[in-house]
Every structure is written in C-alpha cells, then in structure tokens.
Amino acid sequence: MQFFKTVIAAVATLAATAAVAQEYKEEYRVSTVVPAPFPWGIAAEKWAELTAERSEGRINLKIYPGVQLVQGDQTREFTAMRQGVIDMAVGSTINWSPQITELNLFSMPFLMPDYAALDALTQGPVGERIFEIVQAKGAVPLAWAENGFREVTNSKTPIRTPADLEGLKLRVVGSPIFSDMFSAMGANPTQMSWADAQPALTTGAVDGQENPLTIYSVLNMHELGQTNVTLWHYVADPLIFAVNQQVWDSFTSEDQEILRQAAIDAGAIGIEIARKGLTDGDQSLIEDIRGKGVEVITLTDAERQAFVDATRPVYDAWKEKIGADLVDLAEQSIANR
C-alpha cells in the first residue's frame, strides 16, 4: 500500500511540474518602439537580462523593437498586449493614451517643469493611481522608465515665440492632445507613426518634429536638416513596463517578484541613461549637439510663458477629459516636490 501511495505521489508531482513547465513559454515577446542604443531599448534589454539571470533561465524575454508585432502602429501596442498578441511591453504613456485617456496627463502642456516634477508624479500618489488605472484596463504595470522631455526641432527657423511656429509642418505622435497643442500654437501638425516619421524627416516631407534629445542624437537628426532645436520641456513621456494579465497569472509568485524587481532595476538604469547629459549638473549631450553646428535655444522665463499662454485652452480642455481630480493631484504633487 505504502508503495502505491509513493508511486501515486511521485506521478502527481511529475504532473504538476509538467503543468507548470508547459505554462511557461520558451520566449516572451516584449514590444518597444526603439531599440538600444536609445535609453528606451537599453531599459528593455536590461529587463530581459536581469530576468533571465535571476530566474535562472526560466523566463526569457525577447525584445521586438519598431513595434513590429503591431506592424509599426505604436497606438495599437496596448490593445495588442491586452489581447495577448504581445506578452509584455516597455511602452510610452503617449502610445497607450488612445486606450487610457488618463495617460495624457504627462502630455499636458508645461505641467512638469523639470525632472523633479516628473519624479513627483511617477514616484508619488499619481503614479500609484496611474498603475491602478492601467491594471483596470487589463495589463499589469510593474515599473517606470523614461523616454524624456520632448524638445521641438525643425529645419526652417529658430523657434523662440509661438509666432515662429506659424505654418511649420510638424510631425506629431498619435494622441490628439498633440495636434491640439500645435494647432493652438499656430503650427501645422501632422500625425504619423514613428515608422513613417523617419522617412518624412529624411525627405523633408515635414519641417520638424518633437522628441527627446536622446532620440535626436542617436539618429543624428542634424544630418536630416533638423538644425534648430528649442529646449522648452513642454511635455515628457515616461515609459511603463507591463505584462499581459494571463501571462502574469501563469507565473509563480516567486517569478512574478523576479520580473517586477528586474523591471524596477532596469527602469532605474534606463532613467539614468535617459537623463545623462541633460541635467543641470551635466549638459554634455546639449553641448555635443551644439558642437555639430546646431542652434540650441534655451528659452527665458518670459519666452516660455508665451507658449504656456498659447496652450492654456488646450490644458483646460484636456484637464476635463483626463479627469480634474487626477490633474489636481498632479498639480499638488508638483507644487510640493
């Protein structure tokens, strides 16, 4: 009798092990827009590396840059992750905004004046609330990284006042708040994916664009004629590490913690790289760009205020759409930073 019990127990253990092993995929597909050496791609790779190491090879993440799993349409990334077409993503708040309106918070014009303001949001009660909202929309958010403060560049003219934007054809990302802002400032915004933006800049189909300086510099945008850069810090897009709900549920709680902590650690590294050369203490990336013959304009407070004023109606309208409570909380968190 004891013998049979032992055999049955052994078979049951084997079956359980097999069941767990079957639930884990050989590879988990992680979507990003840009690869390394952009800070965004480095953050994703670091996540994969730390996860493989700490799970002793149980969990293998493979990065799919260029949002190739959704044919380059970054505005569909969140939906694809929710549906399981994508297992995981390191995604920009901008690209998930079409599905999660509240993420437009980070695209509110001139809400966050500096890195401390950005940190006050992601690392405080606003960040917690945003994670609850992402979770309720069907994916499990784990940690933050950073694309960065988005600066405006163009091939035609130095931009110091809203009037300088008049008639400029600028590529903007796929959330309507961007079209609203640039229209309010008198520019001629045209919405297109990142995949389409690069040829449009190369051929001169558009005059300019807005993106963090890390993106500008890795792509050598000065060689594409983007020789006017204005540092206005009007919005910044953080990145969120997230996992499809079913995929998350398939992991043991030990492995869930490994994945979460790896994302937190990779995010910290990603943020450090995203800010390198762009802080008060270290302006080396800005100097480097200047050294290439690019006119890099820093606005005076009064000059900046003119852009704030021009976009204020957009701010007010989007405050309602995003939710006045959340925006109030964000304003308070920034005031107390």
* Contacting residues toward ligand X2X, per CB under 6 A: 33-34, 74, 92, 94-95, 147, 173, 194, 211, 237
Q: Which is nearer to ligand X2X, 196 or 331 (CB)?
A: 196
Q: Which is nearer to ligand X2X, 34 or 262 (CB)?
A: 34
> In this chain, which residue has its C-beta nearest to ligand X2X?
194
Q: Which is nearer to ligand X2X, 159 or 258 (CB)?
A: 159
- Alpha-carbon gap, residue 178 to 180, rounded angstroms: 5
Nearest to 158 by CA among 299, 283, 291: 299
Instruction: Quote the least distance from Cβ 238 to ligand X2X, whole Å.
Output: 11
- Alpha-carbon gap, residue 73 to 40, rounded angstroms: 17
Instruction: Quote the least distance from Cβ 171 to ligand X2X, whole Å.
Output: 8
- Alpha-carbon gap, residue 36 to 45, rounded angstroms: 8
Instruction: Quote the least distance from Cβ 229 to ligand X2X, whole Å.
Output: 15
Q: Which is nearer to ligand X2X, 87 or 237 (CB)?
A: 237
Q: Which is nearer to ligand X2X, 194 or 248 (CB)?
A: 194
Q: Which is nearer to ligand X2X, 237 or 255 (CB)?
A: 237
> Alpha carbon of 134 to those of 32, 47, 64, 121: distances in Å?
17, 20, 21, 15
- Alpha-carbon gap, residue 322 to 100, rounded angstroms: 9
Instruction: Quote the least distance from Cβ 155 to ligand X2X, whole Å.
Output: 17
Instruction: Quote the least distance from Cβ 142 to ligand X2X, whole Å.
Output: 19
Instruction: Quote the least distance from Cβ 95 to ligand X2X, whole Å.
Output: 5
Instruction: Quote the least distance from Cβ 275 to ligand X2X, whole Å.
Output: 16
Q: Which is nearer to ligand X2X, 98 or 141 (CB)?
A: 98
Instruction: Quote the least distance from Cβ 93 to ligand X2X, whole Å.
Output: 8
Q: Which is nearer to ligand X2X, 33 or 50 (CB)?
A: 33
